[in-house]
Amino acid sequence: MKTLFMLLLFCHVASTVRHSLKYFLSATSGVPNLPEFVGFAMVNEVLAGYCDSNSKIVEPKQNWVRDFMKDNPKHMEWYTQMCFSNQHYFRADIDDLKQRLNQTGGAHILQSMDGCEWDDETGEVIGFHQYGYDGEDFIAMDMQTLTWTAPKQQAFITKLRWDADKARSEYNKNVHIHTCPDWLKKYLHYGRSFLQRTVSCHATGFYPDRAMMYWRKDGEEHHEDVDYGEILPNHDGSFQISVDLILSSVAPEDWRRYDCVFHLSGVEDHIVTKLDKAKIRTNWVSPSEFPAGVVTGVVALLLLLVLCITGLFIWRRNNNGFRPANTE
C-alpha cells in the first residue's frame, strides 16, 4: 500500500528554557592594531551591543536592541557611562597587575565576564563575575558565600582586598541575582522573534512508525543546537515527526551547509532537503523520483532571514575556564 507523504521545512519560535545575559570587557597593553578597551554584551549568545576605546560610542548590534534603547533611553545612558568608566578602571587594573608581577614589557590582556543565567521554567537564577589575565583564570566571585576565589597565587592580594569590601560584594550579588535577570527578561521580550528562531523539518503522513529524521552539516550528522521530536500518530493511522535546528547562530551564507534527512524504515534511499536560500520554492515531484512506497505530496521551504553579526571576540571561555585570547 502506498502512503501519502508530506515533508515540510518551516520556521517557528521555539521555547528556550535557559537564557543568558553576559558582559565581556577586555583591556590590552602592548597589543598593536587593537583598541585598548573593548566591551560587548550578549543575550542568549547573540551579540547585542559593543563599544571600544577607539570608536567612543556604544553601538547596538540588533534592530530589537535599537528599539529597546529608543524606548528606554536611561539604559543607553547607563551603558554609555559604564563602558567609558570601565575603560579607566581596567586601564588602572592592568597597570597595577603589570607592576605587581614585575612585567615591564610584552603584550598583556585583562578580561572579565559577568552576568546571569535564568531558567524560564524553574525561575532559577545563576549569577557570575570572573576575571582572567593573559588567557588564564585570575579571580572569580562565589555568589553563595560572597567571597572571591583566587586560583592563582598572584591574585591572592586582590582576593583579600575584595573580600574585605562587603559593600562591593553585596552590590555584586544584587546586580547579578536581581537586576541582571530583570533586564534579561526585558531584552528577551523585545528580541523574542529573533533570539529564538528555529527551522523545523516536519514529515507527516508516513507509515509505518519506524523512521528517522535528523539534520546534517557538510554531509555529517549534526547534533549541536538540534531538538529531536518524537514520532507521533495522526488521526488517519499515519505518523509524523519533527526535528528543529536553532538558527540564531547560523549565518545566512552557511545555510547551504545544512540539510534535513528523512529515512523511512525498509526504504533504501533517504529524502534530503537542503537548507539553501537560493532554493526556496514549492517543489512538486513525480512519485517515480522518490523511493518505492513513498508518494511525495509537496516539499515547501518557508525560511526566515537571520541577521548575521560578525565582530571581534577577544575573550572566549570553555568549560575549563579562560583560554588564550586571539589578538590577531
pLDDT of residue 255: 83
Q: How many CB atoms lie within 10 A of CB 181?
A: 24
Query: Mean pLDDT over residues 202-217, rounded?
Result: 88
Element (H, E) at 47: strand 46-52
In terms of pLDDT, which residue wins out, 103 or 299?
A: 103
Q: How many CB atoms lie within 10 A of CB 268?
A: 8
Query: Mean pLDDT over residues 107-119, rounded?
Result: 92
Reported confidence tier of residue 312, pLDDT bands at 50, 70, 90? very low
pLDDT in tens, 259-300: 889 988 888 888 888 886 555 433 323 333 333 332 222 122
Q: Which of 43, 9, 4 is nearest to 280 (CA)?
A: 9
CB 226 within 8 A of CB 190: no
- Maximum C-alpha span of the chain: 81
- Per-residue pLDDT for 27 more than 50? yes
Kindly give, in sequence order, each residue whose CB lies less than 8 Å from that of residue 263, ignoring residues fewer than 6 positions away: 211, 212, 213, 270, 271
Q: How far is CA 66 from CA 47, 58, 187, 206, 307, in A?
A: 13, 11, 11, 45, 14
pLDDT of residue 286: 32
Query: Mean pLDDT over residues 130-139, rounded?
Result: 91
- Per-residue pLDDT for 301 more than 60? no
pLDDT of residue 305: 16
CA dist 168 and 173 (Å) reads 9
**Where, residue-wise, is CATH 3.30.500.10 in the chain?**
19-194
Domain 3-14+197-302 in this protein, CATH class: mainly beta
Please state, rounded to an integer, the average pLDDT across all residues of the chain. Answer: 77
Q: If you write DSSP's letter for every residue of 121-152 in order, what string do you get?
A: TT--EEEEEEEEETTEEEEEEETTTTEEE-SS
Please name the fold of domain 19-194.
Answer: 3.30.500
Q: pTM here?
A: 0.61
In terms of pLDDT, which residue wins out, 328 or 76?
A: 76
**Where, residue-wise, is CATH 2.60.40.10 in the chain?**
3-14+197-302
CA contacts within 13 A on the Cβ side of 221: 7
Task: Output the CA angle 164-165-168, nearest 5 degrees.
Answer: 150
- Per-residue pLDDT for 128 more than 90? yes
CA dist 93 and 63 (Å) reads 34
CA 252 and chain centroid, separation? 16
